[in-house]
Structure 1
Amino acid sequence: MLGRPPLGRVDRGGWMPASFTQEERLLVGRGIHVPNNSVAIGLHLLGPLDVGALERAVAALVARHEMLRSTFPEDPAGCRIAVTDGRDITLRRLPAFGGVEQALAALAQAAQVPFDLAGGPLFRATLARISDAEHILGLTLDHILVDGLSCQILQRDLLALYDRETGQGPDLSPLDLQFADYATWERAYLRGEPLERLMGHWRNALAGIDAIPASGLTDPDAPAGRTAGLALRKAAIPTDLRDALDRTARAGRVSLFAVLSAALKAVVHGRRRRLRDDDAADVAVLGSLSNRGHRAMKDVVGYFATPTVLRTNLAGDPTLAELATREAQVVFGALCHQEVPHALITRELSPGQYGIRHRFGQADVPRYINFDMAQDWGAALRQPARLRVRTARVPVSEVPRGGLRLIAREKADSLVLEFRYRTDFYGAPWAETFLADYVRLLNLWPTRPSSRLSELGL
């Protein structure tokens, strides 16, 4: 924290100015609205629901978190954020449905209605009734408001506020700071020497590649003429293997994330070698960092997370243990320099790619590969009195950006892999064999950490 301006409460009368200097405009972040860039959260509520208490809890949630009341008015001079009183955000009730699938389909349809960034509101709460003892609550937000951790905070706080409104729980501790305070701090900090120091790391780390690097993976047998769409393949890593991977990671003084990420890069490396790619050993993957270095921000809703490029050199035929160490060093470097937004890195290092992931058919997006590790918070959800709550997937269409995405979801008794691929770039056989190679490598990793990549048949 040395040399950083203090993080404190700012004036709510106009905390984000209507105009910026040229340097400040580069720090604004996403300024292009994607009509279906929506986040949909589903909560399956079983038991006698107090709908009036839920309505009050939603209102209290909106009052608690300023970002739920925020809009982004158009301004020719730059970007401006306004905070409303939130009175136009209420719980919408849908008619009764005959079952869960019908209710989820209706919530998905409601979630597809695009948000007006300038006019708002950018948060909607919709309740679908199945019976007196079964409901599904849908929370839909524009992604500009929230990151993944924010979605978990919203679910936690809403259920706690419902308990409060039914007289079954205490009030939440007030928030000392809001995302606006962080945004103001960030604008003050990311300039001059601090900005130059952070950018210096990324200039070196990404020298010679794009800020949104292409994966180099192609499927020569991909079906021709298919429209852009997403398909999903899943694989479960059982508890004993997950625990063995975790022990192997600790023995090598690295994280499980580093092992899983290194394994992905080893598979990418093998595929690119088969394609006779001269740069097969230079593997760059897009990931995401939480960017919540300030403890005061741990309970705050906002878009803190930032994409990051994790670039690793697999040259020299390293052992699996050596590869995990290299990956851990790359991840550590990214964590130490995560305060500079990826949008700013892209604007400087690859200006032609700035905003490209959100242009939606107006520009060719590189076929990048994305890796993330996430926790399944469904089992840890608060259970209000007389209710049983579990997560429910609202089946909204996902934006088919890039080409490939691997998500490792930590569950209570396993690790579930979700491999998503664009159907206009890759066929199902290619995706299935890629995921199978990845799973096979994870099975080998705990017993063969001293094996070199060339010995693994990738």
Structure 2
Amino acid sequence: MRIPAARSTGLVSAGQEALWLTHQLDPHSSAYNVVLAVRLRDPVRTDVLQASLTEVVARHELLRSRFPSTEDGPVRVTEPPESVRLEVREVPEADDEALFRLARQAGEEPFRLADEGAFRAVLLRRSPDDAVLVTVTHHIVSDATSQWLLVGDLFAGYGARTGAAPAPAPTAAADWDAHVRAERDYVASPRGARSAAYWRSVCAGLDAAELPTDRPRPAQRTLNGATHELVLDEGTARRLRQVPAERGLTPFAWLLGTFQAALHRSGAGDGFLIGCPATTRFTPPSRKAVGYYVNALPVAARFTPATTLLDTVESAQRQLRTGMAHARYPAELLAGSPGRGPLFRVSCTLVAADRLPVEGLYEGPVRLGGVRAELCDVPQQEGQIDLTVEVLQDSRGFRAVLRYNTDLFDAGTLERFATTWRRLVEVSLDAPATGVADVALVAADDLDFLLALGTDAA
């Protein structure tokens, strides 16, 4: 493929501009760093890895883009592929715990978007046959799918160069400007106007979901965070695949509806909005491209004393299906009403491991370009908003990663919220017609124990 040599200026999408503005508020934060770290258990030729990296960066122009400021806002400047270099850090004294900590730290280093761009690749080499490759992008150039595409492309090229794998089929270079032009054309079109009207109707009369906080909200938005995980047991996961299917519903819609119910029962109110990030990879070229191909779908929740768990689930599925028809419209364009707060403070999304571009890596060791590799699952993207939830689905079941702002919430608060959500999931699978307000948030045997604490029976 032809390797671009000179820098050029490109377009910025609505979502990228919103992320750029957030970065200006706290340029030292790593909350929007997207990280994929891979432990490598065979010798790696760094010269070959660099050659493959250069080819990947040439094909995916956002990986070599930086975002300086102008009077009119951010612009995108694309640099030559050779400007992105693999950084090798020798760490011979690191044990496994230290190696993991170093990988996490490499992922947490902030980006200087205006000067150095939004992508780095760091190889932490403990010995000739033991290293961790940490690929880090700012969200302004990437999404969850992109990070896996990047690593898949990188090792496909590496394997082809070492003879360990066949050469991948040629892939056309991604054209981000074409994507941005298509977005702008859609927004300006009659279809875009209909989508805007639809989203305004969804949002009418509702504010962003907001859980009661443990501390007052700071005057200026902060991006400090931590993570709590909720893992559904094997039996619940099995029924979560079965029960929704019997009603023509999806497991994610079921989890989303019960998540909304958990917000309601935890003090978020009777009506609110959350965001559900959805892909905008609607064209064949975009499905193989690294980029910020995401728009958030506003999803409304309204509760009355008569609302059942099944009502919330069915509403969530209807809104997801209808919303995808309007997913091309950037939600950022809805948030500019005078006096209105942010459109979302809470978001929930699904990641299906069996659809990720690097097959098998999420679930266990694999070979990438002839190199034995396994996922090094470092914490990341913490504190972006009040609460972001990523539901991870694979052959083993369901795991929810709850990332929250630590300036607002204590760890115990998120633990209690996760317990409430789990309880609502379990009750909904047993008795979906149960009223949301009628669910006892403490299981019967636990309630008996608590009641007994004040008696001699304890």
TM interval, shorter chain, is: 0.7 to 0.9
Using structure 2 for the length normalisation, give the TM-score: 0.82
Determine the C-alpha separation between the residues in 2 that align with 1:172 and 1:49: 23
Determine the C-alpha separation between the residues in 2 that align with 1:322 and 1:225: 32
Using structure 1 for the length normalisation, give the TM-score: 0.82
Determine the C-alpha separation between the residues in 1 that align with 2:277 and 2:344: 17
Q: How does 1:17-28 map to 2 (within 5 A)?
A: 28=17
Q: Which residue of 2 aligns with 1:303?
A: 292
**Structure 2 residue 164 is matched with structure 1 residue 153:** no
After superposition, the C-alpha distances for 1:229-276 in whole angstroms (9 at most, x for unaligned) are 43433232123321211221112212111100100111222233xxxx
Contact 1:67 1:179 in 2 (8 A): yes
Secondary structure at 1:445's aligned position in 2?
A: helix
Q: Displacement of 1:150 after TM fit?
A: 0.9
**Structure 2 residue 136 is matched with structure 1 residue 136:** no
Determine the C-alpha separation between the residues in 2 that align with 1:402 and 1:73: 24
Unaligned runs of 5+ in 2: 1-5, 442-458
Determine the C-alpha separation between the residues in 2 that align with 1:432 and 1:142: 28
Which deviates more, 99-108 or 184-193? 99-108
**Structure 2 residue 201 is matched with structure 1 residue 218:** no
Q: Which residue of 2 aligns with 1:5?
A: none
Unaligned runs of 5+ in 1: 1-11, 19-23, 357-365
Determine the C-alpha separation between the residues in 1 that align with 2:75 and 2:228: 41
Secondary structure at 1:39's aligned position in 2?
A: strand
Q: Which residue of 2 aligns with 1:124?
A: 120
What amino acid does structure 1 have at the position aligned with 2:274? Answer: V
Contact 2:155 2:369 in 1 (8 A): no
Contact 1:100 1:130 in 2 (8 A): no
Determine the C-alpha separation between the residues in 2 that align with 1:423 and 1:201: 34
- Aligned residue-pair number: 418
Which deviates more, 123-132 or 76-85? 76-85
Q: Which residue of 1 aligns with 2:110?
A: 114
Change beyond 3 A, Cα 1:430–1:142:
closer
Q: Which residue of 2 aligns with 1:235?
A: 230
Which deviates more, 291-300 or 147-156? 291-300
Secondary structure at 2:47's aligned position in 1?
A: helix
Q: Displacement of 1:158 after TM fit?
A: 1.3
Q: How does 1:188-337 map to 2 (within 5 A)?
A: 188-210=185-207, 213-215=208-210, 217-219=211-213, 222=214, 229-272=224-267, 280-315=269-304, 317-337=306-326
Determine the C-alpha separation between the residues in 2 that align with 1:198 and 1:53: 47
Overall identity of the aligned pairs, in %: 21
Q: Which residue of 1 aligns with 2:36?
A: 41
**Structure 2 residue 394 is matched with structure 1 residue 411:** yes
Contact 1:66 1:83 in 2 (8 A): yes
Q: Which residue of 2 aligns with 1:387?
A: 371
Secondary structure at 1:438's aligned position in 2?
A: helix
What amino acid does structure 1 have at the position aligned with 2:180? Answer: A
Determine the C-alpha separation between the residues in 2 that align with 1:13 and 1:48: 34
Determine the C-alpha separation between the residues in 1 that align with 2:306 and 2:132: 52
Determine the C-alpha separation between the residues in 1 that align with 2:191 and 2:254: 31
Residue from 345, 354, 357 that aligns with 1:368: 345
Determine the C-alpha separation between the residues in 1 that align with 2:324 and 2:245: 19
Secondary structure at 1:55's aligned position in 2?
A: helix
Determine the C-alpha separation between the residues in 2 that align with 1:237 and 1:136: 29
Residue from 59, 70, 73 that aligns with 1:75: 70
Q: Displacement of 1:289 after TM fit?
A: 1.0
Residue from 59, 84, 92 that aligns with 1:89: 84
Determine the C-alpha separation between the residues in 2 that align with 1:296 and 1:372: 23
Determine the C-alpha separation between the residues in 2 that align with 1:408 and 1:101: 26
Contact 2:57 2:81 in 1 (8 A): yes
**Structure 2 residue 53 is matched with structure 1 residue 58:** yes
Determine the C-alpha separation between the residues in 1 that align with 2:217 and 2:312: 38
Secondary structure at 1:380's aligned position in 2?
A: coil
Determine the C-alpha separation between the residues in 2 that align with 1:15 and 1:228: 30
Determine the C-alpha separation between the residues in 2 that align with 1:91 and 1:218: 44
Residue from 406, 409, 417 that aligns with 1:434: 417
Secondary structure at 1:174's aligned position in 2?
A: coil
What amino acid does structure 2 have at the position aligned with 1:301? Answer: V
Change beyond 3 A, Cα 1:351–1:115:
farther
Q: Displacement of 1:395 after TM fit?
A: 4.9
After superposition, the C-alpha distances for 1:13-57 in whole angstroms (9 at most, x for unaligned) are 967469xxxxx9899543323433322221111122233222221
**Structure 2 residue 327 is matched with structure 1 residue 338:** yes
Secondary structure at 2:50's aligned position in 1?
A: helix
Determine the C-alpha separation between the residues in 1 that align with 2:407 and 2:309: 33
Determine the C-alpha separation between the residues in 1 that align with 2:308 and 2:197: 30
Q: Which residue of 1 aligns with 2:446?
A: none
When the two chains are superposed, the root-mean-square deviation of aligned CA atoms in Å is 3.0
Determine the C-alpha separation between the residues in 2 that align with 1:151 and 1:411: 18
Change beyond 3 A, Cα 1:415–1:426:
same
Q: Which residue of 2 aligns with 1:4?
A: none
Determine the C-alpha separation between the residues in 1 that align with 2:242 and 2:297: 27
Secondary structure at 1:258's aligned position in 2?
A: helix
Change beyond 3 A, Cα 1:141–1:25:
closer
Determine the C-alpha separation between the residues in 1 that align with 2:313 and 2:76: 42
Q: Which residue of 2 aligns with 1:9?
A: none
Determine the C-alpha separation between the residues in 1 that align with 2:200 and 2:217: 38
Kindly indicate which of the two structures has a greater share of residues assigned to helix.
Answer: 2
Q: Displacement of 1:145 after TM fit?
A: 0.5
Secondary structure at 1:390's aligned position in 2?
A: strand
